[in-house]
Amino acid sequence: MREAHPDERSVGVEWYVSDADGVGGRLKARAEDFRVTELERYDTEPVDADPGSYAHVVFRATLRNWDTNDFADALAKKLGISRERVSWAGTKDKRAVTTQLFSVKLDHADLPEIDEADIEVLGRAGRPILFGDLAGNAFEITVREPDHPEHASAITASLEEWGAGEVAVPNFFGPQRFGTYRPVTHAVGLDILRGEWEEAVKTYVCTRTDFEPEGTYEIREKIDERWGEGEWGQLTELLPGKLRYERALLQGLAENGGSSPEHFREALERLPRNLQQLFVHAVQSYAFNRILSERLARGLPFHEAVAGDVVCFADKDAPDGLALPDTDREQRVSEKRLRSINRHCERGRAFVTAPLIGTDTEYGDGEPGEIEREVMAELELTREDFDLPGNFDSTGIRRAVQVRTDMEVTEDPLTFSFRLPKGSYATTVLREYLKTDPLDLT
């Protein structure tokens, strides 16, 4: 085990579990270097089924250089409908070639052509595509300009040793969960959870980093300097069109006066529903990363449980060969049950979990529970803080602390082929191989 890259620590990631030196290099030199195909489990009716009963058109799209939210916006605009009528199972990176499921609520099945998108209509469904409809993702990822490709085999061996015979890594949330060039979502979420609605808006609009374009850095700085003036309309005009979410926030304040906490909350509610949810989810992810980092620091196992852990069992409907945890089937681990639970863990039938803390989340017992409570205390949060209005509310869930995969590595070019269960990040696996600046992983 060795210390993580310094820039990863701001999002709670403190360690690499493999001791071998990294291969170096960078990801996504071109979109074709990062290919993702969803592993689906979603049934449809024929495309000519009654729209009254099956209101959602389901389609598979292969996208090149498309952010998922931007593609949904473009599709909705061409159809002349609300973006809220477009749904998908998993948000994907922009600089990639991604094949994924979407649904759109329409009374016809004529979908428009969109640049850099191949669309295949599959049929109709009675409900929209949801996150639970995705089992996982298959990846084929090429690393360009690696410094030491020969290190890959040693890293694989190290990850297999840590995973008790399988390539495995801690199930950290990757940097894209928090904002690649401006990791701000969890900071906004912390403001929201503490009831600081104005600070949340200001954090989103004004936070700047050295990694964003110089022009937007200066604009954010100007708005920060003039924040207390209340001239929201004038501040809106400073923002370029590409910062559309920031513009939406300030425009909302210009319309409602921006003088009370409720006004700032209403401005945040103008953002897309999934972005509102992401702020609080990012706090949960940040806390989860810190819990895993502390578990590593204390030398607790990830491939098997200790007394006080909460485990979940494998999803029986997962595609063959995909280790998919079912967090609806949980069990608290006592000393009495420890041996039998760990036999299930050894056979891939059970997984140790940690909480994405919300109003309904139960802490573990023993040392795992101690870690969870300490992290929450350090963040000055309680479970009750997640009881919020609208899309900011979260009941919480548990998540596997380790992710295992069937890794295949080829050279010239250095390419990694593997599958992951839904919610796990390819960059979380590849960071162990590259051991480089997080920006080289995005």
Q: What is 288-312 written as a DSSP string?
A: HHHHHHHHHHTT--SSS--TT-EEE
Rounded CA-CA distance 222/316 in Å is: 54
Tens-place pLDDT, residues 19-61: 999 999 988 889 999 999 999 888 899 999 999 999 999 999 9
CA distance 229 to 388: 29
**Whole-angstrom Cα distance, residue 122 to residue 60?**
7
Give the separation between CA 97 and CA 143, rounded to whole angstroms. 15
Q: In which band, very low, low, confident or very high, does the pLDDT at 409 lie, cut at 50, 70 and 90?
A: very high
Nearest Cα residue to 106 out of 132, 87, 133, 131: 87
Pick the CATH number of 275-400 from 3.30.750.24, 3.30.70.120, 3.40.50.970, 3.30.2350.20: 3.30.2350.20
Strand order in the sheet with 310-314: 325-332, 310-314, 350-356, 397-400
> Could you tell me which CATH class the domain 33-136 is placed in?
alpha beta
Q: Which residue has the tokens 């491939």?
A: 303
- pLDDT surpasses 90 at 343: yes
Q: Over the stretch 154-174, which tens digit does the pLDDT of each residue have?
A: 999 999 999 998 999 999 998
Assess contact for 203 and 218: CB atoms under 8 A.
no
**Residue 149 identity (one-letter amino acid):** P
DSSP 7-41: GGGGGT--EES--SPP---BS-SSGGGEEEEEEE-
pTM over 0.85: yes
Residue 229 DSSP label: G
Task: Indicate the domain borders of the chain.
Answer: 2-25+146-171+404-441, 33-136, 207-271, 275-400
Percent share of the chain, pLDDT over 70: 100
The CA distance from 172 to 345, in Å, is: 19
Catalytically annotated residues:
93
How many angstroms separate the Cα of 411 from the Cα of each of 417, 420, 424, 427?
Answer: 12, 21, 25, 19
Tens digit of each residue's pLDDT (9 = 90 or more) over 66-95: 989 899 999 999 999 999 899 998 888 788
Task: Kindly report, residue by residue over 171-199, the tens digit of the pLDDT.
Answer: 999 887 888 778 899 999 999 999 999 99
- The tokens describing 140, both together, are 């084929």
**Nearest 5 degrees, angle CA 170-CA 176-CA 179?**
130
How far is the C-alpha of 300 from the C-alpha of 173, rounded, in Å? 19
**pLDDT number for residue 174:** 84
Contact (CB, 8 A) for 254 and 233 = yes
| pLDDT band, very low/low/confident/very high, at 230 (cuts 50, 70, 90) | confident
Tell me the CA end-to-end span of the chain in Å, nearest whole number. 23
pLDDT tens-digit profile of 282-331?
999 999 999 999 999 999 999 999 999 999 999 888 877 788 899 889 99
Q: What is the DSSP letter of 357?
A: -
CATH topology match: 33-136 vs 275-400: no
Average pLDDT, the chain: 92
Q: Is the pLDDT of residue 226 over 80?
A: yes
